């Protein structure tokens, strides 16, 4: 009886230790992946003047993104959506804490500032940092044999929804990378310098680069391409839908940051095409990261 109790205690201690290590990796991920935006002047200003309903919508959209991401690569193996929700909340909390600390360090929030400005800066920075907190486990943590076997079992149980999950993961990758560059003036500047031919070449280049990523990693697991599978399968099933996802994310991010207000239709399209270039890379690379 005592042996059974000791075994259970050891298991609980090991689980707690793994969870604490996961928290540490989450903090590191939030800092590393969120630092580019935490040091971007345009994001500091956006936190002050962004329309609050657009910021609220971004925060609400980030919740299901974190939920799905946590279900796949949470702080420890998650097999229920309740556990995934717990990890998503923890990731958000880590992101908020890291954002506050870094913004305080940089002097971007200080006593005397309006509460709305402080909350706006923290909220907008917490979105990429929360994604980074969950990516920290994927990037900085290895899996032992038991964890790898558990992951395989979980992926097998989700085979019926795996295609939709792949597209969703690409959306997360596109959003994460787009958030890093969309606030900068360079996106608008590049779009103003472009012609329709430049845009067409950029679209083709984005698709080709994305297809290179997709075909190279072969969508491990249920979507791994076999020798009998034609090359057009990956292009039609993953690359083209993935680019459309990245393009849609680009429109949304530009709208969120007010980059499409009072802008001509052609200029809106060019701006989205420019942003979808890094967005497409982020969407494809999501399979390498996630």
The residues, any chain, with a CB within 8 Å of residue 39's CB and separated by 6 or more, are: 106
- Cα–Cα distances in Å, from 142 out to 145, 232, 244, 284? 10, 34, 33, 22
Look at 14-23, 61-70, 155-164 and tell me which has the smallest mean pLDDT: 155-164
Q: Which of 242, 252, 173 has the alpha carbon at shortest distance from 208? A: 242
pTM of the model: 0.79
pLDDT in tens, 215-225: 655 544 434 55
Q: What is the pLDDT of residue 9?
A: 62
CA 123-277-45 angle, 5° bins: 30
- Cα–Cα distances in Å, from 152 out to 2, 61, 86, 223, 281? 34, 28, 22, 14, 26
Q: What is the pLDDT of residue 271?
A: 93
Mean confidence (pLDDT) of the chain: 79
- Over the range 203-212, which residues count as b (16 or more CB within 10 Å of their CB) and which as e? beebbebbbe
pLDDT at 152 over 50: no
Cα–Cα dist 21/1, whole Å: 30
pLDDT at 19 over 60: yes
Q: Average of pLDDT values for 57-81?
A: 79
């Amino acid at each position: 009886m005592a042996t059974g109790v000791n075994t259970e205690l050891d298991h609980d201690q090991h689980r707690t230790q793994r969870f604490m290590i996961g928290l540490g990796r989450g903090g590191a991920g939030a800092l590393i992946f969120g630092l580019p935006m935490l040091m971007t002047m345009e994001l500091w200003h956006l936190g002050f003047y962004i329309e609050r309903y657009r910021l609220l919508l971004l925060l609400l959209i980030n919740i299901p993104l974190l939920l799905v991401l946590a279900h796949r690569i949470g702080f420890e193996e998650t097999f229920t959506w309740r556990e995934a929700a717990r990890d998503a909340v923890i990731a958000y909390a880590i992101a908020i804490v890291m954002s506050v600390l870094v913004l305080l360090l940089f002097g971007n929030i200080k006593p005397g500032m309006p509460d709305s400005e402080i909350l706006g800066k923290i909220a907008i920075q917490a979105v990429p940092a929360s994604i980074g907190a969950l990516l920290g486990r994927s990037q900085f943590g290895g899996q032992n044999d038991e964890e790898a076997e558990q992951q395989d079992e979980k992926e097998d149980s989700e085979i019926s929804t795996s295609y939709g999950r792949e597209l969703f993961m690409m959306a997360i990758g596109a959003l994460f990378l787009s958030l890093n560059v969309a606030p900068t003036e360079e996106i608008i500047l590049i779009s103003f310098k472009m012609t329709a031919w430049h845009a067409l070449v950029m679209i083709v280049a984005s698709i080709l680069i994305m297809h290179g990523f997709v075909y190279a990693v072969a969508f491990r697991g249920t979507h791994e391409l076999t020798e009998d599978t034609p090359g057009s399968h990956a292009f039609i099933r993953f690359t083209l839908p993935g680019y459309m996802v990245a393009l849609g994310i680009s429109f949304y991010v530009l709208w969120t940051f007010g980059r499409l207000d009072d802008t001509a239709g052609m200029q809106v399209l060019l701006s989205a095409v420019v942003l979808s270039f890094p967005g497409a890379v982020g969407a494809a690379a999501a399979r390498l990261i996630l």
